[in-house]
Amino acid sequence: MLKQLCRLHTDLSEEDILKLEAVEKSIFMFANIVKGDIFIDCLTRDTDIAIVVSEAKPTNCGSLYKNSVVGQIALRENEPGALRTLEIGMETTELKALTQENIVVKQNTVPIKNNEGKIIGVLIMEKDITEDESQSRNVEILSQTTEQLSETLMNIKDSDYENLVAYNLMNDAILVINETGICMYANYKAEELYKSMGYKDKIVGMSFDNLVLNKISFNKIVEDKKAIVIEADIGKLSLQIKYAVTKKETNIYGIIMLIKDLTEIKEKDKELILKAVAIREIHHRVKNNLQTIASILRLQSRRIDNIQAKKAFDESISRILSISATHEVLSQKGIDDVDIKTILSKIKDNATRNSIQLNKKVSIKLSGDSLNVNSDRATSIAIVANELIENSLKHAFTEENEGIIEIIIKKGITYSNISISDNGKGFETKLMNNESLGLKIVRSIVKDKLSGDINIESNNNGTKSVFNFNN
């Protein structure tokens, strides 16, 4: 099919067509390695139109195509990367394109050249546009087995290495070392990598001793007969290197070196660590400042004789400490998300201490699901929960000096809720029209900050407050 299409739609010579057929032999196995669709396109006599002359669909995962597209055209407006590569010979990485079946994909492209260096076709690898970015920066070749790769590379003839254009689609460097320790093949990424390390000569034909990037010998790898994975820092580069022995039955054929450039990943990891440290420090300072404010208010409260004013101070101190508890947990995590159960545990401990100060023996229990929320939401939940717990401590046990307050967290798919109940004396809910400032704060936060609602029920057996919020 490739030969007929090239003769019909292109001006390629018979020698060029033979070259394309040689490349075509490797793309079927390669489609399974990269788990993506592979195509060979050629420029037609119309410079804005290419034609698909060959395709390879993966058999170990689903193809993005329902039908074959061999013989169909590729327009510049739909596949700019492919047409660009055909014209100027520059490779393309992760460029969006529209397929013949109107599916948006990511394309990697590399040129196919004849013996004179003329561009005669383009090799295209297509992956799903919705694929997770961390998984899709081409092929995570070091995380896959090398069985298929080894089997193909060890059985090809020396003259066929130049037809392995498909391996130039990889972001990972590939070097094939024969049984005498000489490099017989290096893909484009390998050539570029070694150039970046200062190598002036072509690496094909070099000995393993000149190419190895850590203290290990060729004979050691061959003798161990197993894959070795190491990491090496070369200048500013951070590399992960895998040495895999190519063998068939008991015969050793040589070594495949697979090198992945981790420099960008390592730099991002460093940035994340620095950001995490900065976030922890910010939350730590906020926590300290809030606790300082609470201490100042506590000192001021001791100088006041008015009972109502002292009560207002104590309530404000309690609210500030509930916010401080959130920042204390966040200062330990270094991330913006926090388990609300951890926050409520600290609020529970503070409330227990308050209970002792009020000469009451109130047991506070916390149970339910773990639930991660961001810092802003965590602060709002902490204020609401603290207010409801303090209400129970102050009003539910005025006739008795002991009781139980129970906090339960229930995680839902869309909405989650937290219930706070006590076994105190209860109150008439119809009198809630004249509710306290604390309850007004609670209702405002639940509605405006948490996009939820609150329900309070009370009788002679106690009071139960349940508020929910959007996940």
Question: For residue 133, which of 289, 287, 268 has the smallest C-alpha distance?
Answer: 268
With contact defined as beta carbons under 8 Å apart, do 466 and 455 qualify? yes
Which residues sit opposite 139 in a β-bridge? none
With contact defined as beta carbons under 8 Å apart, do 315 and 438 qualify? yes
3-state secondary structure (DSSP) of residue 79? coil
- Bridge-based pairing of strands 173-178 and 183-186 is antiparallel
Nearest-angstrom CA–CA distance, 6 and 14: 9
Q: Which residue carries 């810092």 as its tokens? A: 375
Inter-CA distances, 401 with 98, 111, 198, 356, 428, Å: 73, 83, 80, 10, 21
Helix axes 340-357, 307-333, angle to 10 degrees: 150
With contact defined as beta carbons under 8 Å apart, do 344 and 385 qualify? yes
Which residues sit opposite 74 in a β-bridge? 50
3-state secondary structure (DSSP) of residue 47? coil
Query: What is the residue type of 145?
Result: T
Assigned token pair, 415: 């909405």
Name, in order, each residue with C-beta under 8 angstroms of 126's C-beta and a sequence gap of 6 or more: 36, 37, 38, 39, 64, 97, 99, 105, 106, 107
Assigned token pair, 164: 């392995």
Which residues sit opposite 251 in a β-bridge? 248
With contact defined as beta carbons under 8 Å apart, do 300 and 270 qualify? no
Count Cβ atoms below 10 Å from residue 348 Cβ, excluding itself. Answer: 18
Do you know the residue count of the chain? 471
Predicted pLDDT of residue 146: 46
For the chain, list residues with pLDDT below 70: 130-170, 247-253, 333-335, 357-358, 428-435
Predicted pLDDT of residue 139: 35
Measured in whole angstroms, the distance separating CA 70 from the mean position of its chain's CA atoms is 35
Predicted pLDDT of residue 132: 44
Question: For residue 20, which of 35, 31, 10 has the smallest C-alpha distance?
Answer: 10
- Bridge-based pairing of strands 104-113 and 462-470 is unpaired
Inter-CA distances, 422 with 226, 251, 442, Å: 64, 76, 17
Name, in order, each residue with C-beta under 8 angstroms of 301's C-beta and a sequence gap of 6 or more: 310, 313, 314, 317
Nearest-angstrom CA–CA distance, 260 and 139: 10
Predicted pLDDT of residue 53: 94
Q: Which residue carries 């460029």 as its tokens? A: 95
Predicted pLDDT of residue 413: 86
Helix axes 307-333, 263-302, angle to 10 degrees: 160
Q: How many Cα atoms are found within 13 Å in the side-chain-facing hemisphere of 380? A: 19
Helix axes 307-333, 375-391, angle to 10 degrees: 140
- What tens digit of pLDDT does each residue of 170-203 get? 678 888 888 888 888 888 888 888 988 888 888 8
Nearest-angstrom CA–CA distance, 200 and 223: 31
Measured in whole angstroms, the distance separating CA 215 from the mean position of its chain's CA atoms is 33
Nearest-angstrom CA–CA distance, 451 and 2: 61
